[in-house]
Amino acid sequence: MVVPRNGQVGVRPSYTKEVVGPVAQLKCFYTNVCSMGNKQEELKAIVQQESYDVVAIMETWWDDLHDWSAAMDGYKLFRRDRQGRRGEGVALYVRESYECQELIEGTSRVECLRVRIKGRASKVDIIGGVSYRPPSQNVDIDEIFYKQLGKVSRSLALVLVGDFNLPDISWAQNTAEREQSRRFLECVGDNFLT
């Protein structure tokens, strides 16, 4: 599932959803925080109060100096910090009771993080992911992301959230003005994502 960002900034939920059915039951939350800096405590409070299973964050703006403050009791943290420049970065918190493993991508040029979450009992594994596409990202990096998405979308269950910075997409009509945005819609359709 690819879900467009609704434009909210901060720790307020951009989107919450329970993933249910024969695959799993996960309570998920995602947000674009535009720097976790002073928002870590607020995030912890929201996550603990709502008891989310998976928390996806875009634009963390973390680096090695934030290792001590990024942990959250009861959750495993997976993160991909932006290398060599300030800003951006993505993170996933997964409840410790879930067995999970990070899926390593071939390149760090794409700001995307994916984790395989082991299904319980007779449930199927789920791949959960978070992605951030900078507004100025070039077509070559977009194509790398589309190839990665094509491979991972073969999974029986994929939940991918992100800020793709393609504001000209009309999700109601499934159309876009710019070529890069049309290519994104094409990738979503080719991989049977909604």
Per-residue pLDDT reduced to its tens digit, 114-158: 999 987 766 778 889 998 888 888 899 999 999 988 888 887 688
Structural domain count, the chain: 1
CATH number at residue 31: 3.60.10.10
Q: Which residues of 4-19 are buried (b: 16+ CB within 10 A; e: fewer)?
A: ebeeeeebebbeeeeb
Do the Cβ atoms of 79 and 89 come closer than 8 Å? yes
Of residues 186 and 21, more confidently modeled: 186
Of residues 111 and 14, more confidently modeled: 111
Mean pLDDT of 23-52: 81
Do the Cβ atoms of 116 and 125 come closer than 8 Å? yes
pTM recorded for the entire structure: 0.78
- Domain membership of residue 54 as a residue range: 2-190
CA contacts within 13 A on the Cβ side of 184: 28
pLDDT of residue 8: 34
29 has pLDDT over 60:
yes
With CA atoms as reference, report the closest residue to 78 among 54, 97, 61: 54
Q: Which two tokens stand for residue 5?
A: 């960002």
pLDDT of residue 181: 94
pLDDT of residue 157: 84
What confidence tier does 109 reach under pLDDT thresholds 50, 70, 90? confident
What's the rounded Cα separation, in Å, for the pair 168 and 135?
A: 12
